[in-house]
Amino acid sequence: MLRPVWTWVRGRLAGGSTPARLRALSAGTVVLALLFALLGSYGVDRRERAIGNAAASSAQLLAAQGIEVRLLRADALASENFLRGGLEDPGTRQAYVAELAAAGEGLVSVSNDAPASVLPSLREVSTAVARYSGLVEQARANNRQGYPVGVTYLLQANRVLGDEVLPALRDVQRSLRSDVNNQLDSADRAGLWFHTSGWLLVAALVGGSVWLAQRFRRLLNLPLVAATAAVLLMMIVGGSTQGSSITTAEAATEGPLQTADLAAQARSAGFRARTQEAIALIQRGNRSVADSAWTDANLVAEAALDRLCEQFKVCAPRNGYDQYVDTYGLVRSTDIDDADWESAVDLSLRESARVFGGFDQASETVTINSASEAAVEFDGAGDGLGLVRTLAIGVGLLAAGLALAGYGQRLKEYR
């Protein structure tokens, strides 16, 4: 777009008369001013939209993690109630039903706003959750009748959750994390439109003013000085506002969003560990697979909690989880070393559940508060960008008018 204009301006400046040069400089400056109005505002708009998209993707990421946490909490509750035998705890059953229903509602909500790329994975999750729920109900019915086959159904349900639901959900989460980063990169690159077109206009205005001063022996051309001042002020204020917006958005991602992300990961792994604790007791003499699965879940939980404590100084969930690990060790030793299965079950259903509840509450508080803080920071990141976009258009048009007036003053001298 600029090359034909520049070629025409350069030709006029090189071989034309003074009036021709004035017209060329005037036309070139006006074109640059109009381009700034167009491209500068476009760049600001792109940044604002990209930050908004990053905020939306971050909210969806946390919602997808919330679905995972609810499903794993439901699984832990189902396993805990199964461990009680035929005498279910009504409160635990009610909590299981509520968590499963909330996960289903969350799936619908995320699917409504999700990008097309993750919809197949979300449909896969929905189908697998329905199958999981059916298997749990079969396990529950057989367990209440005292039929050993109930254990088989429970283990099948647990495998569906671990082998089908969680991988698909984590594919969604990876895609959303990538989208957050891509949107922030896009927001960062969008600043080039504003800065490139703006500083080119400043250079043209300054260069034109210097040429006029040398050619006509007059120090200042007031319209061009006013245009230069307006565009310079626009570049300073607009550049500062845009820089602040991307800094705030990146801070939201690297701070509260990552904190909420880690807390959610720790919660998911913690509930997975709690489920395997129950399954190990349900299987009694055949607990090796469940013990191995508990160890895997524990490693994930501890890694997330270590980062949460060391990097973000949020250590309450870690302290609560450490207490749970100690209690789990006591449950395991009571079952294996003391060969007292009944006492181990009682310890798991009472003390271990109580201690784990402390971790659950602490980590949930961190997740909720950090997610809220991230949303507030993302909202604040876009503040002022709408005004900058409008001002870029106005200043560009003003600069075009002042350039016409400034060069027009000198052209009048040749009429």
Nearest CA-CA partner of 40 in 345, 408, 398: 398
Question: Residue 205's Cα: distance from chain center in Å?
Answer: 42
Query: From CA 362, how far away is CA 178, in angstroms rounded?
Result: 28
> Given this model, what pLDDT does residue 300 score?
97
> Given this model, what pLDDT does residue 25 score?
86
pLDDT in tens, 384-394: 999 999 999 99
Which residue stretches of the chain have pLDDT < 70?
1-16, 217-219, 411, 413-415
> Given this model, what pLDDT does residue 10 score?
55
The token pair that represents 104 in the structure block: 């289903």
Rg, C-alpha atoms of the chain: 32
- 220's enclosing H/E stretch is none
> Given this model, what pLDDT does residue 369 score?
97
> Given this model, what pLDDT does residue 75 score?
97
Query: From CA 33, how far away is CA 199, in angstroms rounded?
Result: 10
> Given this model, what pLDDT does residue 3 score?
58
> Given this model, what pLDDT does residue 307 score?
96
Query: From CA 391, how far away is CA 376, in angstroms rounded?
Result: 25
The token pair that represents 341 in the structure block: 């299965």
